[in-house]
Amino acid sequence: MERIVEDLSLSRASAGLITTIPVLLMGFLAPIAPILARRWSQESVLTAAMALLVAALSIRYFSQYSFTLLLISAFIAGVAIAIAGPLMSGFIKQYFARHITVAITIYSVSISVGASLAVALTIPIIKLNNDHWERGLAAWGLLALVAFLMLLIFMPKSASNNQPVYTHQKLPLDSFRAWLLTGFFAAQSGVFYALSTWLVAHFQHEGFDTIKASMLASSFMASGIIGAFTLPLLAARVANRNILIAAVTLSSTFLILCIAWQPQWHPIAVVSLLGITTSGTFALALALPVMESSSPQSASQLSSMMSSFGYIVGGITPSLVGIGRDITDSFQWPMTFLSVLSFSMVIIALFLRNKPSE
């Protein structure tokens, strides 16, 4: 991120738009996903969304001298993810009803593995391409292309007998529990995306060289695989899921405060633990619509509501951290703000007791 800031002469607040725009679009456009699924089928819409993602990442190859192209790429990527995200909950509920826990775990771990690989390998890819950062960003379009081709080949046909009928149904706006889940998702997405965006820059500001700061960010993302694998499994089995969530998010709160005010104190251990807790709760937030719903359609509707309101609130967080960094010339207070956001999840979790039927 700092390299892009320097090469394109951007403020950090402007640079934060690269991650903020997709996340905001994931909020604003999430409600249209079930509408598109009713019109063209869930499977067709998911495949089309992946094609859009391939196009978005390809545009980044030409963005070395153009912040506008980076923003266009971010916009298209945001549209693709906004449409696909809510439908994935319904897709899992529909095709993996007998193996929900396993499917949720694979889904969550895949997201964490992908994010970890992106953090760990993007800089080496840039180095292999003579420090052209735009090539390092665009390289991930190849992975998206492979996923798109796999969807074309293996995606179940919409004419399948298992295809659900997507009738018109409003978002569960009158449900207090749905709003609690939405608030949890908003806080979690804000914390996760802000840390993913600014962790390297924070440690660089605290005196770490680029390689070590990148290693710390890689540790943060890689350790997250453990959290993404274990927390949804534990949450599906424990009697008091909300207590588990509260304990994990409280741990995240203290760990964020630690990297904010004591970044030199065992940084590898701290960021690794933080990766486990934040990625674990992020994976759980993605899984909650499936766990809380009784049908593929209700799962997609709840996911749409959580994504719509949650990502809008969470999406501005990276930019707020960037603005705070520009104002205070430090990441300490912006990171402290993230710890407050993390603590709000502790309070929300205490109200999210398991349903009587669970």
Q: Residue 126 belongs to a domain with what CATH number?
A: 1.20.1250.20
pTM given for the model = 0.75
Residue 34 lies in a domain: yes
- pLDDT winner (highest mean) among 63-72, 136-145, 192-201, 250-259: 250-259
Band of the pLDDT at 355, cuts 50, 70, 90? low
Residue 33 lies in a domain: yes
State the SS3 of 281-296: HHHHHHHHHHHHCCCH
Please list, residue by residue across 67-77, b when 16 or more beta carbons sit within 10 angstroms of its beta carbon and e when fewer do: bebbebbbbbb
Residue 69 lies in a domain: yes
Band of the pLDDT at 354, cuts 50, 70, 90? low
Residue 163 lies in a domain: no
In this predicted structure, the answer to whether residue 208 has a pLDDT above a threshold of 50 is yes
Look at the chain and report how many structural domains it folds into: 1
| Alpha carbon separation from 258 to 63, 254, 265, 332 (Å, rounded) | 36, 6, 8, 10
In this predicted structure, the answer to whether residue 191 has a pLDDT above a threshold of 90 is yes
CB 74 within 8 A of CB 190: no
Residue 300 lies in a domain: yes
Residue 165 lies in a domain: no
Q: What is the pLDDT of residue 160?
A: 47
Residue 309 lies in a domain: yes
Q: Which of 45-54, 161-170, 211-220, 322-331 has the lowest mean pLDDT?
A: 161-170
**DSSP string across 102-130:** HHHHHHHHHHHHHHHHHHHHHHHHHHHTT
CA angle, 233 as apex, 229 and 237 as ends, to 5°?
165
Range of the domain at 293: 2-154+173-351
CB 220 within 8 A of CB 274: yes
CB 20 within 8 A of CB 318: yes
Residue 48 lies in a domain: yes
